[in-house]
Amino acid sequence: MFKKDILKNGLKTIFIPQKSTRAVTSMVLVKTGSKYERKEINGISHFLEHMCFKGTKKFPSPVKVAEVMDRVGGIFNAFTDQEYTGYFAKVETSQFGLAFDWVSELFLNPLLPKEEIEKEKKVIIEEINMIHDSPMSYLGVLWLKLLYGNQPAGWDIAGKKQTVMEINREKLIDYRKRQYIPQNTLICIAGNFNENKARRLIERHFSKLKTQTSLKKEKVIEKQKRPECLLERRETDQSHIFLGVRGYNLFHPLRYSKEVLSIILGGMMSSRLFVKVRGKLGLAYYINSGADENPDTGYLFVRAGVDNNRVDLAISTILKELKNIRERKISIHELKKAKENLKGKMALILESSDAQATFFGLQELLENKILTLKEIYKKIDEVTTTSIAKVARDIFKPEKLNLALVGPFNKKEKFEKILKL
């Protein structure tokens, strides 16, 4: 069972003890990401995350930062999303104090040296290039651009090359000062650790942080009246498609029905789209579906890499399945299989301490509440064929359809014509 607490300065903590493991994860999450940025500093959340590894007061060089964890075989990393940034270290339980001190040092005391900032610009641009060169990865960037356009929700988390090149030390310091504050921050400790020691460490490192006003997100504008398509021409051997609809956010009562619907469509090897598109028609090697929920946005998508000469057939087949599930109730057997699949995957993923820290931490950070795995199972079990039908009728509408596509095509009109339900 988890335990929550709040320091006097507003910083939140969560403990998730796991006595059956020899690992412990220390994670610091901060409620800021690309949705909190202005256009001229797009990518700064991600850039700052990189720079925290480039030297701190206690570990004044990138090598010294890395060596601390390397010497004990620790697993460490950081991540940036639209809504949050996180830093973590996972170690054998006897190294808990070392790992917590290390994560705290990255978060609290980065040096942000000018020479490293200039070098890291080149690194991040290569990261942008790497994602761009992989259509499977780049589709995610195109998809957000298609849905939300020129607003923070539609921008690339890594930023644009131009904005990355214009970020400097002063901008990083100012952004960090505004956003890395106690009321935005959550510390999550999961695994095998001494709780009293954890409290002492948290108090020592984080109690002196002072609260202040932080940057606010722009309200996301959801605007769509007809099917939309975004095409990027490339001479690829297969076409990569990201086809989906606007859906529900984190707080919608039907969010779990939407997730189960996604599993039925393309979340298993025995799902409808996998069987039809890959198994029967041989149109794709990879095809799957997913559901995404954020505090203010959400969608359901299908992605696939398909034969260039049969893209039309692949898209039409996917749309036909969306229409079928909208017009005909699913069977009890199919519903049960999807629900058990979703519950089983969650249980397996949450075996590790870092997954536990992320699972509990992000719920608290983004929703201000935590459901245990058992409570989420209950939510999943409450999904019915009727609620699935309601979701399908609600979101599978022509005016909510969106298609992002990378492939050897010049005009998007041919694809817009088949975006019908």
For domain 3-206, the question of CATH label 2.60.40.10 is answered with: no
**Tens digit of each residue's pLDDT (9 = 90 or more) over 252-286:** 999 999 999 999 999 999 999 999 999 999 999 99
Question: Under CATH, which number does the domain 228-416 receive?
Answer: 3.30.830.10
Between CA 274 and CA 157 the distance in angstroms is: 30
Assess contact for 233 and 135: CB atoms under 8 A: no
Average pLDDT over residues 19-43: 97
Between CA 352 and CA 360 the distance in angstroms is: 13
pLDDT at position 248 = 96
* 209-228 as b/e: b if 16+ CB within 10 A: beeeebeebeebeeeeeebb
Report the DSSP beta bridge partners of residue 85. Answer: 30, 80
Q: How confident is the model at residue 186 (pLDDT cuts 50, 70, 90)?
A: very high
**Tens digit of each residue's pLDDT (9 = 90 or more) over 329-385:** 999 999 999 999 999 999 999 999 999 999 999 999 999 999 999 999 999 999 999
**Tens digit of each residue's pLDDT (9 = 90 or more) over 129-140:** 999 999 999 999
Q: How far is CA 414 from CA 254, 410, 417, in A?
A: 34, 10, 5
Residue 1 has pLDDT above 90, yes or no: no
pTM strictly above 0.75: yes
Percentage of the residues of the chain whose pLDDT score is greater than 70: 100
What's the per-residue H, E or C state across the chain? CCEEEECCCCCEEEEEECCCCCEEEEEEEECCCHHHCCHHHCCHHHHHHHHCCCCECCCCCHHHHHHHHHCCCCEEEEEECCCCEEEEEEEEHHHHHHHHHHHHHHHHCECCCHHHHHHHHHHHHHHHHHHHHCHHHHHHHHHHHHHHCCCHHHCCCCCCHHHHHHCCHHHHHHHHHHHCCHHHEEEEEEECCCHHHHHHHHHHHHCCCCCCCCCCCCCCCCCCCCCEEEEEECCCCEEEEEEEEECCCCCCCCHHHHHHHHHHHHCCCCCHHHHHHHHHCCCEEEEEEEEEECCCCEEEEEEEEEEHHHHHHHHHHHHHHHHHHHHCCCCHHHHHHHHHHHHHHHHHHCCCHHHHHHHHHHHHHHHCCCCCHHHHHHHHHCCCHHHHHHHHHHHCCHHHEEEEEEECCCCCHHHHCCCCC
Amino acid letter, residue 134: S
**Tens digit of each residue's pLDDT (9 = 90 or more) over 59-106:** 999 999 999 999 999 999 999 999 999 999 999 999 999 999 999 999
Contacts of 49 (CB under 8 A, 6+ apart): 78, 79, 80, 85, 87
Active site residue 49: yes
**CATH topology agreement for domains 3-206 and 228-416:** yes
What mean pLDDT, rounded, does the chain reach? 97
Distance between the two ends of the chain, CA-based, in angstroms? Answer: 46
Residue 45 has pLDDT above 90, yes or no: yes
Give φ, ψ of 310 to 5 degrees: -130, 30
**Tens digit of each residue's pLDDT (9 = 90 or more) over 193-233:** 999 999 999 999 999 999 888 999 999 999 999 999 999 99
Between CA 184 and CA 29 the distance in angstroms is: 8
pLDDT at position 388 = 98
Between CA 88 and CA 99 the distance in angstroms is: 9
Assess contact for 91 and 28: CB atoms under 8 A: no
Between CA 330 and CA 261 the distance in angstroms is: 10
Domain edges within the chain? 3-206, 228-416
pLDDT at position 24 = 98
Give φ, ψ of 95 to 5 degrees: -100, 15
**Tens digit of each residue's pLDDT (9 = 90 or more) over 399-420:** 999 999 999 999 999 999 999 9
**Tens digit of each residue's pLDDT (9 = 90 or more) over 282-333:** 999 999 999 999 999 999 999 999 999 999 999 999 999 999 999 999 999 9
User: Which of the following is catalytic: 37, 40, 49, 127?
Assistant: 49
Contacts of 358 (CB under 8 A, 6+ apart): 27, 86, 188
Assess contact for 397 and 225: CB atoms under 8 A: no
